[in-house]
Structure 1
Amino acid sequence: MNHAPALTAPAVFALVTAAGERAGVRFLEFFASAIRNPHTRRAYARAASDFLGWCAGAGVPSIKAVQPLHVAAWIELQTTTHSAPTVKQRLAAIRHLFDWLVTGQIVLHNPAASVRGPSHTTKQGKTPVLDATEARQLLDSIDVTTPIGLRDRALIALMVFSFARIGAALAMRVDDVYVQQRRLWVRLREKGGKAHAMPCHHTLEAYLHAYLDGTGLASEPKGPLFRTVARGTGQLSSTPLPQANAYAMVRRRALAAGIATRIGNHTFRATGITAYLKNGGTLENAAAMANHASTRTTQLYDRRRDDISLDEVERIRL
């Protein structure tokens, strides 16, 4: 696990093992067994490492000696350097960790249970979005005479037209693109292991066919759909494309297309949902297509009000 060095740092692990050898095993089991999503695991490991490192510096002798006051003081410190959603996520990590330790009979109570995080409400997400013209400009600017270009266009189009999260897109195998009812479909594995299938928009269908045919990936059904490029060859390797590489690609493509908006991987999900709603789609159907459990989540991606705000600002005439 790539977070193991932080978790086993001397100050952190000493605080845990001071409660006994079984405490150390139970602590590591939390990250190895209780959390399946790798991104959540990484975030929780970072939060736990920071908190326990802070506790060690504050003179807390053992994980059994952690009190609500320690958690509250650390959370207060976090609010000076992190956003409210990040602080709330970090508090959730500590709560879940101590719940695990309580059920494992390592500690008697959860010191984070009574600690409140910072208040945070939002009706609209902060993810930068592109309008339909910019999205088309970006897709059309990609040189698709190379395997890399075919890959990048297909990946961006997948996120726009299927509302796929970047994690779900990069986890796809070649056989997750398949024909059903004489139409191309994509199979996505979303958060919590939920499988989600979507029929392809005709533009996405064309881009995926071009990608699979132009790279020969159709002959490798169990291989990763989106791959890195083998060094010095310009050809796709057998290694799945990491999220950091996808982000770097998106930024590079946006710059080359002359798009000034500082977009990221999540931009395309918001862009697709907003475009769908602008063209008469319903919030309920958008939630189903995005595999959201609630339309409240989908509303965070609905940026139609941005146009209203811009129009109203232009009414200020001097």
Structure 2
Amino acid sequence: MINNPYLKSFKDYLKLERSLSGNSIDAYLTDIDKLFQYFDSINKHTNLKDVTSNDLKLFITWINELGMLPSTQARVISGLKSFFSFLLLEQIITIDPTALLESPRLSRKLPDTLNIIEINQLIEAIDASKPDGMRNKAILEVLYGCGLRVTELISLRISNIHYESEYIKVIGKGNKERIVPIGASALKFIKIYIEESRVHISIKKGFEDYIFLNRGGTGLSRISVFTMIKALALKAGIKKSISPHTFRHSFATHLIEGGADLRAVQEMLGHSSITTTEIYTHLDRDYLKGIITEFHPRS
């Protein structure tokens, strides 16, 4: 990444004032770095104070010609807007060149989901006799039973489980805490894993309270959870492209299809805006047609 004196200040701002996670901060800085790469490619070493709206429009054209997807372009533009807003806030610039910058129109892609049969197939594909078997069963039960993001899953602590009340405390995006109910099945597998499998791991200092550990006694990585799920899908013969997030999508979709209140689902998912949660209202069209037929007076 290009060493720009303002990027360090921006990084501190994202971390301290906006309380973003390390992954989100890295994504912001990587996207902003693309602007500097563009200026290098055209041999234009522009001072940030002199960047114009036209410069940014040419930059967007450049990343479009590189074959960048509209969704990625939109993310880059969002990062630029945040960066130049910060520069304006710090009085480093006097005019925001991103003010008239428009993001490409995006179609709202419905997330892939698994049905309950496919979820059971994945769980049944786990070999419980292997050292990681019970841990992996507990992971899938928690992902589907609580709708967690993968980062939230690997950060879960033993001290955050409340067995009697059947809920867990989750640290979500921006270090925001939320309380999420957890079902009996997920609790059962967590307890079995902790009492029968985890006790045989030599736990490294600092990881004593983490629920899910690798064989080396430290926390799981995001990649290891992705890899485990991909391998299970292959073993179970499921052709869909799935990831840990697929379980989150399935959790939300199945709740809403079952009649759950949208606000309650929003709270459990940790969405700051209900608009984000509304993507899960893609109910089966035949079901919706049946509702009209049964309840509408003109049908």
Same fold (TM over 0.5): yes
1:133, CA displacement in angstroms?
Answer: 0.6
Paired with 2:152 and 2:226, the residues of 1 have a C-alpha distance of 14
Quick one: which of 142, 145, 148 aligns to 2:132? 148
Q: Where in structure 2 are the equivalents of 1:68-217 lying within 5 Å?
A: 68-80=53-65, 81-122=67-108, 125-179=109-163, 182-216=164-198
**What is the TM-score normalised by the length of structure 2?**
0.84
How many positions carry a matched residue from both structures?
Answer: 278
Structure 2 residue 27 is matched with structure 1 residue 43: yes
1:141, CA displacement in angstroms?
Answer: 1.8
Q: For structure 1, list consecutive stretches of 5 or more residues without a partner in the other structure.
A: 1-5, 7-11, 17-23, 231-236, 310-318
Q: For structure 2, list consecutive stretches of 5 or more residues without a partner in the other structure.
A: 289-299
Quick one: which of 37, 53, 68 aligns to 2:37? 53
The amino acid across from 2:72 in the alignment is T
Q: Deviations over 1:202-225 (max 9, x none)?
A: 111111111111234599885322
Who is 2:209 aligned against?
Answer: 223
Q: 2:244 aligns to what SS in structure 1?
A: coil
Cα gap change, 1:209 to 1:41, in 2 (>3 Å): same
Q: 2:178 aligns to what SS in structure 1?
A: strand
Structure 2 residue 273 is matched with structure 1 residue 287: no
Q: Deviations over 1:111-160 (max 9, x none)?
A: 222211112252xx443211111011111221222341112111121111
Cα gap change, 1:128 to 1:307, in 2 (>3 Å): farther
Counterpart contact for 1:130–1:271, Cα < 8 Å: yes
Paired with 1:103 and 1:222, the residues of 2 have a C-alpha distance of 42
Percent sequence identity over matched residues? Answer: 19
Paired with 1:217 and 1:296, the residues of 2 have a C-alpha distance of 43
Cα gap change, 1:281 to 1:194, in 2 (>3 Å): same
Paired with 2:89 and 2:199, the residues of 1 have a C-alpha distance of 47
